[in-house]
Amino acid sequence: MQASNGIPQQVTVVSVHEEVPGVKTFTVAYDDGSSFSYRAGQFITLVFNHTGTEERRSYSISSLPDNPKRLSFTVKRVANGICSRWLTDIVKVGDKLFTTGISGFFCIPDSPDEYKQVIFFGAGIGITPMIPMIQWLLKNRPDAFVTLIYSNRTQPETAFYEQLTLLLRQYPGRLSIEFLYSTSFNLLRARLNKSLTTTLLNEYLRVPASETLFYVCGPTNYMRMVTYALTEYGIDKSRIKKEIFNKDNVGFKASKPDDTDTHTVTISVGNRVFTFATTYPDTILSAAKKNGLSMPYSCETGLCGSCAAICTSGKMWHAHNEVLTDSDLREGRILTCTATPIDGDVSIVI
In angstroms, the Cα distances linking 37 to 47, 59, 101, 121 are 19, 16, 9, 26
Instruction: Enter the pTM of the model.
Output: 0.85
Q: What is the pLDDT of residue 93?
A: 98
Number of domains in the chain: 3
Q: Looking at residue 128, which CATH number applies to its domain?
A: 3.40.50.80
Any idea what DSSP says for residue 208?
Answer: -
Instruction: Tell which of 216, 245, 274 closes a domain.
Output: 245
CA distance between the termini of the chain: 12
Instruction: Tell which of 177, 212, 245 closes a domain.
Output: 245
Shared-domain flag, residues 122 and 231: yes
User: Is the Cβ–Cβ distance between 188 and 167 less than 8 Å?
Assistant: no
* Rounded-to-integer distance, Cα 35 and Cα 43, Å: 15
Shared-domain flag, residues 126 and 49: no
Shared-domain flag, residues 210 and 287: no
pLDDT in tens, 101-152: 999 999 998 888 889 999 999 999 999 999 999 999 999 999 999 999 999 9
Shared-domain flag, residues 276 and 321: yes
pLDDT in tens, 192-216: 999 999 999 999 999 999 999 999 9
Of 15, 39, 40, the residue nearest 25 (C-alpha): 15
In angstroms, the Cα distances linking 57 to 82, 99, 100, 297, 304 are 10, 9, 10, 9, 10
pLDDT > 60? residue 300: yes
Instruction: Tell which of 103, 121, 140 closes a domain.
Output: 103
User: Is 56 part of any domain?
Assistant: yes
User: Is 255 part of any domain?
Assistant: no
* Rounded-to-integer distance, Cα 74 and Cα 94, Å: 17
Any idea what DSSP says for residue 37?
Answer: -
Shared-domain flag, residues 148 and 67: no
Q: Which domain holds residue 19?
A: 9-103
Give the three-class secondary structure for 92.
Answer: coil
Q: What is the pLDDT of residue 49?
A: 87
Shared-domain flag, residues 96 and 117: no
Shared-domain flag, residues 275 and 322: yes
User: Is the Cβ–Cβ distance between 336 and 297 less than 8 Å?
Assistant: yes
Q: Please, which pLDDT band fits residue 306 given cuts at 50, 70 and 90?
A: confident
Cβ neighbours of 9 (radius 10 Å):
16
Give the mean pLDDT of 68-86: 94
